[in-house]
Amino acid sequence: MEIKHPKDSKTTMTDLVLPSETNPLNNLFGGELLARMDRAASIAARRHSRRIVVTASVNHVAFNRAVPVGSVVTVEAKVSRAFRSSMEIYLDVWIEDRESGERAKANEAIYTFVAVDETGRPVKIPEITPETKEEKIRFDGALRRKQLSLVLAGKMKAQDATELKALFE
């Protein structure tokens, strides 16, 4: 299997926030943003694995900034790390000012997807090699995030989480 790079999976989805997608404060519903992020992450995961992919978990979501009605919102997704059959997708959400056109980061999220065959069984996926400084930071953090998730789910003993030991020493 060939080694891939995060840029190979990069997915960018841009759309307008419509009134029917907003809450009483005229800001994009959180659930609507989650759905947009899930679709972008799904495409990124499929681009990396070239397999059917399913959402395994939403590991982190930060709603740092409201996304007002009429905004142009862009969701950018890239695989940050690939494991045996699962992959972490890091998402950045940007909003564009209606008048100035300036972009500002509004939110971010981390999703985990699993590549499966036609029967739903996990399948092996290509490795990934980060290239940029940001990609390397996200790649390194992905193993810590995975181990923490496994420990919290009771699927890994804390003493076996090699990447987490440094956090508590």
Q: What are the pLDDT digits (tens) for 115-165?
A: 999 999 999 999 999 999 999 999 999 988 888 787 777 777 777 777 776
pTM of the predicted model as reported, rounded to 2 decimal places: 0.89
d(CA 125, CA 144) in angstroms, rounded, equals 20
Is residue 13 over pLDDT 60? yes
Question: Measuring CA to CA, how many Å separate 114 from each of 28, 44, 57, 108?
Answer: 28, 12, 9, 20
Average pLDDT score, the chain: 92
Mean pLDDT, residues 62-73: 93
Eight-state DSSP code of residue 122 = B
Superfamily in which the 6-129 domain is placed by CATH: Hotdog Thioesterase (3.10.129.10)
Share of the chain above pLDDT 90, in %: 76
